[in-house]
Amino acid sequence: MNIFRLAGDMTHLASVLVLLLKIHTIKSCAGVSLKTQELYAIVFATRYLDIFTSFVSVYNTFMKLVFLGSSFSIVWYMRSHKAVHRTYDREQDTFRHWFLVLPCLLLALLIHEKFTFLEVLWTFSLFLEAVAILPQLVLLQRTRNIDNLTGQYIFLLGGYRGLYILNWIYRYFTEPHFVHWITWIAGLVQTLLYADFFYYYFLSWKNNKKLQLPA
């Protein structure tokens, strides 16, 4: 554990709490992509299967349970809670997200560090997480107007991945034989997908204007 990893975890946790605050308190999921949330639920479900087979620390187990529980609760809110579901923009959130799942699974079967069931699923979760934000970004480009909580959620989500890259750089220079190309490349792809959003986010902050993405 180092400061970059801890900051990344806390930023990731903050992004989830911001989204849950919006959904639970305001009873609205306007501007939030259900497709992205479903992909994240799959990501955490396949990544954290080792919770049943290995124990690292109380902190590690707690964070896994938090991300598993929060991802599925968000999907449940958006699908089943009457007040929240009414605010879901089904007509705009039309990205065919299931087409991302199979290529990521096939890629994980071809490229992995070890050919075991848990390892392949863990690699699959890395590939899927790298592109899971795409339906959300497409939705934001279609709706253009982004409320503060949704903008903060995506900013924190992208920030978490950026901090994890700093964590990998730190560990590369401080830990011998720390090389994980699959994780690094997937994380870099994921971070690059946020580049356009970050540009307009900082532009709106600098000019003190409402965040808008180009159509």
pLDDT in tens, the chain (215 residues): 899 999 999 999 999 999 999 999 999 999 999 999 999 999 999 999 999 888 999 999 999 999 999 999 999 999 999 999 999 999 999 999 999 999 999 999 999 999 999 999 999 999 999 999 999 999 998 987 688 889 999 999 999 999 999 999 999 999 988 999 999 999 999 999 998 899 988 888 888 888 877 76
Expressed as residue numbers, the domain containing 38 is 3-207
* Nearest C-alpha neighbor of 129 from the set 46, 30, 19, 6: 46
Please give the C-alpha separations between residue 139 and each of 69, 71, 133, 195, in angstroms, as whole numbers. Answer: 24, 19, 10, 16
| Residue 214 belongs to a domain | no
> Which residue's structure tokens are 């199979």?
102
Query: Is 213 within the bounds of a domain?
Result: no
**What is the number of domains present in the chain?**
1
Is residue 160 included in any domain, yes or no? yes
Token pair 């920030």 is found at: 159
pLDDT score, position 215: 67
In a domain, 165, yes or no: yes
At 212 the pLDDT is: 76
Residue 105 lies in a domain: yes
- Looking at the domain assignment, is residue 177 inside a domain? yes
